[in-house]
Structure 1
Amino acid sequence: MTQPLKLPFYAKLACILVSLISFAYIFCIAKDILTPVLLAFLFAVLLLPIFTFLNTKLKFPRHLAAIICMAVFLSFIVGILVFISYQVTYMANDFDTIKKNANSFIIEIHKFIRENFEISIGDQKKYLDSVTKDSVKNGQAKLGSAIISISDVLLDSTIIIIYTFLFLIYKEHFKLFLAKLISKENHSVLKDILSQIKVSINNYIVSLIIEMIVVSVLTGLGLWIIGIKYFILLGLITGILNLIPYIGILVAGIITVLASLTGSAEISMILGILIVNIIVQFIDNNLLVPLIINTKVEINAFVSIMGIIVGGAAAGISGMFLAIPLLAILKIIFDRIESLEPWGYLMGNHIPRKFAWRVRRTKTQE
């Protein structure tokens, strides 16, 4: 029996770093192909309990069980989109009021700048006209790319649906493939890794849904208290956009400010919206995320922020969304492989109470 090859520490470290860099490089150059696959994998894991119940308990054929799962999933997504589109259509009836209040708000801003910075309204308008001309030229150039982007989103959505369906059908096939890659004595470790990945991803996505609901309710309640007309729609949009780290809440705030112009153009109303968003974000970051998200994923904040930044740089919003579950999968794998266990500990949120270096004294020192 051949003995396993033992490498020194620096060689192991070099191999690990080269492997991680290689995987990251492959993901960057193939992100358009891999991103839909990874998103479909997450959705398939989320739908797996329903699929297992239909296929195992109710004895539905695999294809029929997968079709029912996809129908439930699509019904949920379409229901949210229909509600939002209905509310947006209803809001469009107040477009004239929004335009009028927006003009009043802009005039107030002009007066504020003139009184505090001594810049005349004429100079401000000249500057805005120059910026507007440049933006119009750029907008015309980007119109075609925007249409292409929308078509790409629709195509990716269709592909994700197909991939999710196929992941559910070929679940056992992929498991047997992984089992054939490793030796039989390590099958128990593989089974443990796969079960933990399923639990971790399910918990993470369910936690995100709970967080989205709580943020939507809190935001909608706050906007209702300060008198915003479309508080239900704006609360739901804020909850959905909050799933996008950093960027989502800023976009939601801008949409809420614009929607508030259906009522009045008072600065106090806009300040109220900012206060509501700040309070909700404080509750989300200090209560919801630590209690709901971090306890399920067990990734520390430092690694999470780095992963989100790297994911955003590599694949945009999709990469930011995929960063946390991919890090959770890596941590599960690292924790169960002895040579990689220190890296799993580094990614975790374990905070030791006290650490002290212990140096053994030799007899001569004593």
Structure 2
Amino acid sequence: MFKLFSDWYTRKFSDPHAVTLVVILICIALFIALFSSLLMPVFVAISLAFLLDLPVNKLMHSSMSRLSATIVVIVAFIGFALLAVLGLMPIIWTQSSNLLQEVPNMITQGQVYLLTLPEKYPELVHESQIESFIVMVNDNLLEWGQVALKASLNSISDIVALMVYLILVPLMMFFFLKDKIELMNSVAYFLPKERRMAKKVSKEMNQQILNYIRGKVIEIIIVGTATTIAFMFLDLQYALLLGVLVGLSVLVPYVGATVVTFPVMLVALFQFGFGSEFGYVMLAYGIIQAIDGNVIVPLLFSEAVNLHPVVIIIAVIFFGGLWGFWGVFFAIPLATLVKAVINAWPSVPETDETNEAPEL
């Protein structure tokens, strides 16, 4: 048993560069796991600075200094963010409040409709089954209401955290972009010299993550805008709110589209009933999802490493459970990182003892 483990260790860890890569990955994972709640503004700033590094480099190629390019990009980013927040948030907030006020009416209508099912289909549905289902739904709604109340009581601390984000994140983004080279050299000073594999994986993942973040931002904008326009054209209530939800659902592949289908379907159902308008809404939603999955995603992520859908779902569950929203957002790049490390890992081929015997 010991020899078996020793042979495996020799094959996989004989290269000191491989050991260095393992140590670096373990240290980064432990650091994020232990200090993610404290340093979340830093991680957010690093992610946004990583995304904005491309336009900074583009401006530098047009004979601008890094300081000037950083100032232009940061000002443009803050201006766009303020325009989006001030323009969209009031409408989204109003539609969210109106939808929450409509929820009791929707529940009442749903219960009335369910109570008519035993009369329409007495052979399939019994009144006791409907009553049990209504009791279960009411109990779940009571639990959700308690959760919402607790969340509202914690809103003051959330507002304070948001104010910290609004001040610290742009400031850190500016310094991360302006002093990128100096900061990277400072980090490299503490790393071992035997890091050839780490450099190889880092170079590959740098491009992969950049393509992924850029592609996801573009996908969210395209899908959210197209959905909002389609719902407004079909005169669906809460079109902007539902469009934003559909746009954000692309962050979680497969699962997000499935989950967000329910609010779209319920709003259309209670507004139009089982009619042609309801069919048009669901048809438009299905067309947008089909275009996203078969046209937009292949175009935007053609350079990304192919991953099996099962691997993507497992990555979303695992990293989302570890790091919440950002774990879900970076689930695919992290899964790609694992695949890149496995592919780049050196391995000494096993020796066949029968071939080692001297020929007679």
TM-score normalised by the chain length of structure 2: 0.69
The 1:82/1:285 distance shift into structure 2, 3 A limit, reads same
Structure 2 residue matching 1:240: 3-state secondary structure? helix
Residue 70 of structure 2 contacts residue 178 of structure 2 at CA under 8 Å; is this kept in 1? yes
Picking from 92, 108, 112, the partner of 1:107 is 112
Picking from 179, 193, 200, the partner of 1:170 is 179
Query: What's the Cα RMSD here?
Result: 4.6
Shift of 1:242: 2.1
Q: Are 1:323 and 2:322 counterparts?
A: no
Counterpart of 1:347 in structure 2 is none
Q: Are 1:79 and 2:54 counterparts?
A: no
Residue 212 of structure 1 contacts residue 240 of structure 1 at CA under 8 Å; is this kept in 2? yes
Counterpart of 1:59 in structure 2 is 64
Structure 1 residue matching 2:327: 3-state secondary structure? helix
Counterpart of 2:50 in structure 1 is 45
Q: Are 1:307 and 2:307 counterparts?
A: no
Q: Give a deviation string over 1:310-331, Cα, whole Å, max 9, x none.
A: 2111011211112223444566
Shift of 1:196: 4.5
Q: Are 1:213 and 2:217 counterparts?
A: no
Q: Unaligned stretches of 5+ in structure 1? A: 1-6, 343-359
Q: Give a deviation string over 1:270-308, Cα, whole Å, max 9, x none.
A: 565555444543443444334432x22214225433322
Counterpart of 1:240 in structure 2 is 248
Distance in 2 (CA, whole Å) between partners of 1:46 and 1:83 is 23
The 1:38/1:102 distance shift into structure 2, 3 A limit, reads same
Q: Give a deviation string over 1:22-43, Cα, whole Å, max 9, x none.
A: 6544432222245443432232
Shift of 1:66: 2.5
Picking from 169, 186, 201, the partner of 2:209 is 201
Number of aligned residue pairs: 338
Correspondence list, 1:254-333, <5 A: 254-257=262-265, 259-260=267-268, 263-266=271-274, 273-274=281-282, 276-293=284-301, 295-301=302-308, 302-328=310-336
Read off the aligned partner of 2:80 and give its amino acid letter: F
Residue 39 of structure 1 contacts residue 160 of structure 1 at CA under 8 Å; is this kept in 2? yes
Read off the aligned partner of 1:74 and give its amino acid letter: I
The 1:184/1:85 distance shift into structure 2, 3 A limit, reads closer
Structure 2 residue matching 1:296: 3-state secondary structure? coil
The 1:78/1:112 distance shift into structure 2, 3 A limit, reads farther
Q: What percentage of residue pairs aligned between the two structures are identical? A: 21
Counterpart of 2:73 in structure 1 is 69
Distance in 2 (CA, whole Å) between partners of 1:145 and 1:282 is 39
Residue 111 of structure 1 contacts residue 121 of structure 1 at CA under 8 Å; is this kept in 2? no
Distance in 2 (CA, whole Å) between partners of 1:42 and 1:138 is 31
Distance in 1 (CA, whole Å) between partners of 2:339 and 2:333 is 10
Single out whichever of 230-239 and 267-276 deviates more from structure 2: 267-276
TM-score normalised by the chain length of structure 1: 0.69
Which protein has greater RCO, CA pairs closer than 8 Å, 6+ apart? 2
Residue 201 of structure 2 contacts residue 340 of structure 2 at CA under 8 Å; is this kept in 1? yes
Distance in 2 (CA, whole Å) between partners of 1:206 and 1:198 is 12
